[in-house]
Structure 1
Amino acid sequence: MIDLWTTDALRILLVAFGVGIVVGLTGMGGGALMTPALIFLGINPATAVANDLVAASVNKTVGAAVHWRNGSPNLRLAGLLMAGSVPFAFAGGFIVKAVGDEEARTDFLTTAIGWALLLAAGSYALRIYLQLRLVANGNEVPAEEPHIRAVPTVLVGAFGGLLVGITSVGSGSLIMVALLLLYPTMTALRLVGTDLVQAVPLVLAAAVGHVVNEGVEWVVLIPLVLGGSPGTFLGAKMTNWVSQSVIRRGIVIVLTLTGLKMLGVPPETIGFIGAGILLLGPLAWGFIRQMHGLPNFDNDSTAWRLPEDEDETATP
């Protein structure tokens, strides 16, 4: 019988619940936040990636179901992303297995996850800035659907699938930013919904590849699912009425510092960088907003104005 009433299991459950809320709210953060958290809790990186991917396939299904009911995902766009992402995501576990013995895989995954987190942080910061420019240039939602660019979309799915398949990072961060670059007129709710729908088969394929090679640890997997599923459901329900401004900037800071930690940067340096971001970041952001003709610190600024019968907002 599996003992779930241990301190470690309860820690995993609580962390999974918190990460699930972020996933439901923003469509990102599952692998980017949960996998490093598991590693910091003392779990082997390969085991952390494998179990997080299995749990994410369940948790993202919950979030996708909520967004499906709201009618927000673009299904054609999601299908093109799946065509590129699923086969590459499945290959990820075999690539990690081919690296070598357990020690080699641990070193490889720790480094790969660290760089993936920094890439995710940079791409998410870019997303915030791009949405800020949309605000400055006029923020009314176009009535027509965006033109679907098939080849670039499939390539985005392939790159995102490979990254997720190896590190479990990227299904809701890098792909989301790429979608914003390709389809800048899509609203935040549709972006989150589309990403969550395509992420289900993506993460499931990656999970199968890792489970075949690594297996699962039930004492890790069960708390991840029990904590993550209700958290994702709650976060998805809160999307329409919770301002994402502070959450987004906070995620960028967390991903940056966590990535540096995974890469072995000394704690003193990480602390210095973190303090600099916390102290100077808001001032720099206020200056950037002012350059685009917006109030310096307006957390309630709406990225898109919707028709009167809708109330979706997205805050940069």
Structure 2
Amino acid sequence: MDLGLAVAGLFIGAVVGLTGMGGGALMTPVLVLFFGVPPLAAVSSDLVVSAVMKPVGGLVHLRNGTVNLGLVKLLMLGSVPSAFAGVLVIKALGDDETVQEVVKVALGVALLIATASLVGKAWLGMRDRARRHREGLPPEGSATGRPDVVLRPVPTVLVGVLGGLIVGMTSVGSGSLIIIALLALYPALHASQLVGTDLVQAVPLVASAAVGHMLFGDFQLDVTTSLLVGALPGVYVGARFSSRANGGLVRRALTLVLLASGLKLVGVPNVALGWCLLAVCVAGPLAWAWARRRAGLPATGRRERAARAGRDGRDGGDGAGGPRAAGDAADRSGSTAR
């Protein structure tokens, strides 16, 4: 038992419980960069830990009915066999230092792609809120919801194939990469269904990759056990506090950590890495405020929430527009009928 690994597992589990993301993208680079675990062993241990953690959240979403089972089946057709195949590809390359370096660089590239996908997901969500505001539609998650999506079998299976291959080789992408692909393929998918579907499809995907690494990878029981000791209570505590925590702040911090980890793994020197992170911290908020203004929203989320609260107060104080809004809607429908 390694106390340091258990503490790292506790922290990462809490992040996963708070945000629903960041498990593979955070745990593997932590093992490689801070604990000196070989990349192949880090990938193997991370996948086994994720295979134990993810079913918990998946069951919650299944009970709440926020899973598109048709999408899950299509993704599984591609991801489950390709995740196992990713392990075989790594095994076929060998186990010398060159292969370890290849896996390390591949992990860094996957982390940079995951970082870009998180930013893209936030941008698409912001643009959707702006569209709903302009069109006078109810907020995301209201009772009206959205219509059922029309499944696109071929591109969905291909997303599963590519995502499974990346997960099998690097342990990254079961959430962050596939969820952005689902956003692009199914923009009408309800936010809760998007998260639930992505989490449930990740269970067999990660399980397939974990079995492959236990059979053919560099699985280390002591590392995995230490991580699980911290990760399981961390996930539970994070999930309990997820409704109270500032999710936007946690996601921004997670994005910055993933960016730093990805750049470090691909070999960026420390000085250049520091300047890059400083530039992102300074220019990022300014660019995001500009993007929000272009989309028709206030420059910051705080102003957006204040404006929404003001509108709700004027309309009667409830999230659906209040009694006054309901009366106006009834008047409009009556005029239309007449």
Same fold (TM over 0.5): yes
Aligned partner letter, 2:22: G
Residue 193 of structure 1 deviates from its aligned partner by 1.4
Most deviating of 220-229 and 184-193 = 184-193
Contact kept? 1:85, 1:161, Cα under 8 Å: yes
Deviation at 1:192, TM superposition (A): 1.7
Matched ranges for 1:33-72 at <5 A: 33-40=26-33, 41-72=35-66
Cα distance, 1:268 vs structure 2: 0.2
Query: 2:265 pairs with 251, 257, 262, which one?
Result: 262
Describe the shift of the 1:307–1:181 C-alpha distance in structure 2 as closer, same or farther (beyond 3 A).
farther
3-state SS in 1 of match to 2:168:
helix
Q: Structure 1 counterpart of 2:102, which letter?
A: F
AA aligned opposite 2:88? F
Query: Match for residue 212 of structure 1?
Result: 215
| Counterparts of residues 19-168 of structure 1 (less than 5 Å) | 19-40=12-33, 41-138=35-132, 140=138, 141=140, 142-168=145-171
1:272 aligns with 2:275: yes
The code of the aligned residue for 2:5 comes to I
Instruction: Please give the alpha-carbon distance, in whole angstroms, between the structure 1 residues aligned to 2:25 and 2:107.
Output: 8
- Unaligned stretches of 5+ in structure 1? 309-316
AA paired with 2:259?
Answer: T
Distance 2:70 2:165 in 1: 21
Structure-1 separation of matches of 2:240 and 2:158 = 31
Deviation at residue 239 of structure 1 after TM alignment = 4.7
Q: Is the 8 A contact 2:146 2:189 kept in 1?
A: no
Identity of aligned residues (%): 46
Partners of 1:243 and 1:300 within 8 A in 2: no
Residue matched to 2:254? 251
Letter aligned with residue 170 of structure 1 = G
Letter in 1 for 2:286: L
Give secondary structure in 2 for the equivalent of 1:53.
helix
What residue is the counterpart of 1:313 in the other structure? Answer: none
Shift in Å, 1:27: 3.1
- Tell me if 1:13 matches 2:6: yes
Is the contact between residue 28 and residue 171 of structure 1 (CA under 8 Å) also seen in structure 2? no
Higher helix fraction (1 or 2) = 2
Aligned partner of residue 93 in structure 2, secondary structure: coil
| Residue 271 (structure 1) shift | 0.2
> How far does residue 181 in structure 1 lie from its aligned partner after superposition?
1.3
Whether the 8 Å contact between 1:73 and 1:194 is mirrored in structure 2 is: yes
Superposition deviation, residue 238 in structure 1: 4.5
In 1, the alpha carbon distance for the partners of 2:231 and 2:68 equals 25
Determine the C-alpha separation between the residues in 2 that align with 1:33 and 1:235: 15
**Whole-angstrom CA distance in 2 between matches of 1:186 and 1:16:** 32
What is the root-mean-square deviation in Å for CA atoms of aligned residues? 2.2
What SS does the corresponding residue of 1:152 show, helix, strand or coil?
A: helix
- Whether the 8 Å contact between 2:121 and 2:183 is mirrored in structure 1 is yes
The alpha carbon displacement at 1:185 in A equals: 2.8
Please, which of 163, 174, 177 is the counterpart of residue 180 of structure 2? 177
Post-superposition CA distance 1:191-237 (Å, at most 9, x none):
22111111111001011111111342222111222222232334344
- Report the counterpart of residue 326 of structure 2 in structure 1: none
Q: Deviations over 1:97-153 (max 9, x none)?
A: 111232122111111001111111111111111111101111634342222222211
The question of whether the paired residues in 1 share the 8 Å contact of 2:67 and 2:200 is answered with yes
The corresponding residue for 2:288 is 285
Amino acid at match of 1:217: Q
C-alpha displacement at 1:56, in angstroms?
A: 0.5
1:189 equivalent among 180, 184, 192: 192
Say which one has the larger Rg. 2
SS of 1:146 mapped into structure 2? coil
Distance 2:184 2:153 in 1: 14
SS at match of 2:172: coil
Task: Report the alpha carbon displacement of residue 92 of structure 1 after superposing the two structures with TM.
Answer: 1.4
Say which SS state the counterpart of residue 301 (structure 2) adopts.
coil
TM-score by length of 2: 0.83
- In structure 2, runs of 5+ residues without a counterpart are 309-317, 321-338
Q: Distance in 1 between matches of 2:303 and 2:30?
A: 30
